Amino acid sequence: MEPSAAARVQPSPRETLDSVIIRFAGDSGDGMQLTGSQFTTATADAGNDLSTFPDFPAEIRAPAGTTYGVSGYQIHFASHDVQTPGDAPDVLVAMNPAALKVNSEVLKTGGLLVVNSGAFTANNLKKAGYEVNPLEDGSLDRFRVLALDVTKMTLDAVKEVGLGSKDANRCKNMWTLGLMYWLFGRERDQTVGWLKNKFAKRPKLAEANIAALNAGHIYGENAELPHGINAYQVPSANLAPGEYRNISGNEATAWGLVTGARLAGLEVMYGSYPITPASSLLHNLARLKHFGVTTFQAEDEIAAVAAAVGASFGGSIGVTGTSGPGVALKSEAIGLAIMAELPLVIVNVQRGGPSTGLPTKTEQSDLFQAVWGRNGDAPLVVLAAATPGDCYYMAIEAIRVAATYMTPVILLTDGYLANSAEPWLLPDVDALKPFPVAFHQEPEGFHPFSRDEETLARVWAVPGTPGLEHRIGGLEKDRSTGHISYDPHNHHLMTSVRHDKIAGIARDVAPAKVDQGDNHGDLLVVGWGSTYGSIRQAVSVLREKGHQVSHLHLRNIWPLPEGLGHLLDSFHTVLVPELNNGQLVKLLRAEYPVDAVSLPRVTGLPFRIGGLIQAMEERLHGSAI
Amino acid sequence: MSPKSPKKEYTRKDFASDQEVRWCPGCGDYAILAAVQRTLPSLGSTPENTVFISGIGCSSRFPYYMNTYGFHTIHGRAPAIATGLKLANPKLDVWVITGDGDGLSIGGNHLLHVLRRNIDLQIMLFNNQIYGLTKGQYSPTSQVGKVTPSSPLGSIDQPMVPARFALGARATFVARAFDTSKKLPEALSAAREHKGASFIEILQNCPVFNDGVFDLITDRKTGPAYQLWLEHGQPMKFGANGEKGLRLKPETLSLEVVTIGEDGVTEQDIVVHDETNASLAWMLTDLPEVVALGVLYRQPGPVYNESIATQRDLAEDRFGKPDLHALLRQGHTWTVS
């Protein structure tokens, strides 16, 4: 675990910290996501490594002042490698009583609590469920409290601009950001430029927000802060040299799809129906028409995938993006693509389930659905991205596998990956290896289900090609003519062929390897998807303590990579932490003779490092010989 | 792109596949298949650029019998799959084959939206007022009281009017014909010539589960009294000798059947068909005593796949040459040395 906010003190006016976790919290209309993302950009500019976690309610504008309308944005930044947005914040910014109520439990003891006392009115206290004002009853004594009337100071700062009270009041977040910039030694220039650009058509708003930002900063410079509250600095991290940007998972997936299609020499047809947390994939791709991308906002989830299947039949790479409930609706069409053996990429940005579940919260509970969730013996490929930046590479891989093997590929990401940002070392796109697709052209001896002997992929013959006119569909085909067949033996054979084709892809992907630690030992922690950072960090803490712990993170969920069974066999205990009720663990137990232990967590939130360490230690003690 | 095949005069046979046709003997689908195979060569269609997309049901076996590209998909979703195909390759001539169950029940939503978007393809809806492939249950177009295995006391579902559904979706081309009609090829040609989504309802006899349901209309003897073949710019007359016609009743804003020469009705009283008039088309979808056939409505509108192409050109003009390197660097970046 990273040291708390009391690392080493240097003889400078600013206290130096290794690592800080800040959570901004306020009403969903308070602009906390914007505040957090601006702080993130300024922090990246300062050279820190970082990880963020936006946590917002399902309601677009929940009634003001209520606890269920609280929107949060957590950022963890450090002078060292950062893997996760962190567990408990060192600093909590609470813009109203509800934000304090929801978040004060998680703030570290001794942590810095910045509150807008101006919002602690009788009405707001009541809405948040406080009978007594917590700023006055001593209940916050375990924190270092900086209670400021941000509302009043913001209104004073923007008075000269002459805005209406509603607009003026909405500058509070920029005042607060200004103060936080001063506290942590961040530059304001980038945010000033961003505000000017954002409000280019409403210069008064730009002026007021900049005035508020500056006023918050000046407040920090001049005010006598209470005892124990200092200005801080976090030295820059030792990142690998190169060009960086902040990237969220959905941006990375969208760009990866475009890149993958380029490498394949195909156009993208992205069919989608808006759904949280996948909609921003559609938004991102809709802006990339000049890259040969067609986006189709369909009438429903079924039409979205059906259009993608139709596009693949026509020689584009059909892609559809959604979340779990949408995949449920798409299942039959995915089965069609399996049966017709057409390439298709399905991105599932998982969220809390079942049914509507927790739409804005993260979960990894669609693994079973992805691997097995269709009628019939219907194998396909399932990939999982580990970090926001990894979404880029996995989207490319999804297209490569789909086009090479004429198969649907499900790419699993999740709400956490979709929305969190991390600094991303930009790839050299010219160095990525192309995998050009060749459509079948030769009429001689053609039938639509003739296969490549090695990959077992059938030929891709697209409408418009003379001499290759053929019919495909959801009915079983004869293995050697491609015509409809109800022959029992043929169906058995074709079921095997579809299975073997997918199973054989294991030979075409990297064999299983541990991400951290040795190839044998006491404990192997096997993870997949967005838990990468949490597991990595927890394992490194235990390794520093001298434990024989290793971390293996699966990106190929189905088929599983070669060599996995041997690695599982090389550890005394295998622990599988997942943000579900135990899905990968059952898959592993079904495929290998391994007594893997499940560590499920289904709270809609990422793992806490502390909780992971504790669970691993229990296993280590339990398995100590 | 594939090499161009030598220019060839295609015939009906070039559009027939080598697969044995497996509809029930006497099924109306045979006549429709023959009409399509006959019509396509006359339209200059080529097997390689023609695609038939179907859903599930008796009618949806259609693509297997055409020597073109074909995709027998899943129940109700053919319009969506055809949409994706047309967006991927707008040069293809795409036909959707569906039925009253496939297109109006399980796939009603997709039919609505493919018409509303006006994607350039043809939709042939075979309406036999019954579920054939699942052995005879009532469909969304079955008449009230229809006795079937799932409605032993008679269906209590109100039937819908397919052409009215299409107009409600703001389809830009709505036509109607029946399976054995000599004028079916004409309707197919008009549909193919129309730019945008063309909807053709084809009344089709199911000899096994709903035999004779359209007999009054389609029978050679009784038919003329029930068939009103529409012609743009011509008075809407019908009957064995063209003695009947449609007259507007202004007081109820409806059409009534009248006989020319009776009760002082003259030729001048008969309403002239205007296929661009949506209000008239609406009335023609569901007439008393007679069935309107031919093109009920035709009005050009923006074509979705063309608008997609226009927006792509616009994006290229605005954003220039696509550059992955620049894409990844848009917005804020920084360098660590």
pLDDT digits (tens, 9 = 90+) for A383-405: 999 999 999 999 999 999 999 99
Token pair for A495: 């079921």
Is residue A433 within 8 Å of A263, Cβ to Cβ? Answer: yes
Residues 295-334, chain B, touching A (beta carbon < 8 A): 308, 311-312, 314-316, 318-322, 324-325, 327-329, 331-334
A299: nearest CB among B85, B92, B110: B110
Burial of A179 by CB count in 10 Å (0-12 exposed, 13-18 middle, 19+ buried)? buried
- Helix then strand count (H, E) for chain A reads 20, 22
CA B16 to chain centre: 21
Kindly tell me if the per-residue pLDDT of B1 is higher than 50: no
pLDDT at A223: 86
- Cβ <8 Å between B84 and A307: yes
pLDDT at B6: 55
Rounded to whole angstroms, the Cα distance separating A329 from B331 reads: 36
pLDDT at A6: 42
Is residue B64 within 8 Å of B70, Cβ to Cβ? Answer: yes
CB atoms within 10 A of CB A493: 15
Report residue B4's pLDDT band, with 50, 70 and 90 as the boundaries: low
Q: Cβ of B67 under 8 Å from any chain A Cβ?
A: yes
- Cβ <8 Å between A296 and B84: yes
Compute the C-alpha angle A427/A429/A432, nearest 5°: 100
CA dihedral B264, B267, B269, B271 (to 10 degrees): 150
Is residue B197 within 8 Å of B171, Cβ to Cβ? Answer: yes
- Nearest CA to A18 out of A45, A49, A52 is that of A49
Instruction: Show the low-confidence residues of chain A (pLDDT under 70).
Output: 1-12, 623-625
Residues 1-60, chain B, touching A (beta carbon < 8 A): 1-5, 17, 19, 46-49, 51, 53, 56
Rounded to whole angstroms, the Cα distance separating A204 from A195 reads: 11
Q: Are strands A571-578 and A521-528 parallel, antiparallel or unpaired?
A: parallel
Token pair for A100: 């304090």
Rounded to whole angstroms, the Cα distance separating A290 from A280 reads: 18
Kindly tell me if the per-residue pLDDT of B9 is higher than 80: yes
Token pair for B160: 């819908």
pLDDT at A2: 43
- Cβ <8 Å between B336 and A336: no
Kindly tell me if the per-residue pLDDT of B246 is higher than 50: yes
- Cβ <8 Å between B71 and A471: yes
Nearest chain B residue to A258, by CA: B324
CA distance readout (Å), A12 to A8, A77, A219, A230: 11, 21, 20, 11
Alpha helices in chain B (DSSP H): 28-42, 78-88, 100-101, 108-117, 162-168, 184-193, 215-218, 278-284, 304-319, 324-328
Q: How close, in Å, is residue B152 to chain A by CA atoms?
A: 31
CA A33 to chain centre: 16
Kindly state the average pLDDT of the residues B267-276: 98
| SS3 state of residue A82 | coil
Kindly state the average pLDDT of the residues B98-120: 98
CB atoms within 10 A of CB B254: 13
Rounded to whole angstroms, the Cα distance separating A276 from A359 reads: 6
A428 Cβ contact partners less than 8 Å away, ≥ 6 residues apart = none
pLDDT, chain B, mean:
96
pLDDT at A56: 82
Report residue B3's pLDDT band, with 50, 70 and 90 as the boundaries: low
Q: How close, in Å, is residue B95 to chain A by CA atoms?
A: 13
Q: What is the pLDDT of residues A572-616, one digit of tens each?
A: 999 999 999 999 999 999 999 999 999 999 999 999 999 999 999
Q: Are strands B173-178 and B291-298 parallel, antiparallel or unpaired?
A: antiparallel
- ipTM of the complex in this document: 0.96
Is residue A406 within 8 Å of A345, Cβ to Cβ? Answer: no
Is residue A460 within 8 Å of A439, Cβ to Cβ? Answer: yes
Is residue B100 within 8 Å of B141, Cβ to Cβ? Answer: yes
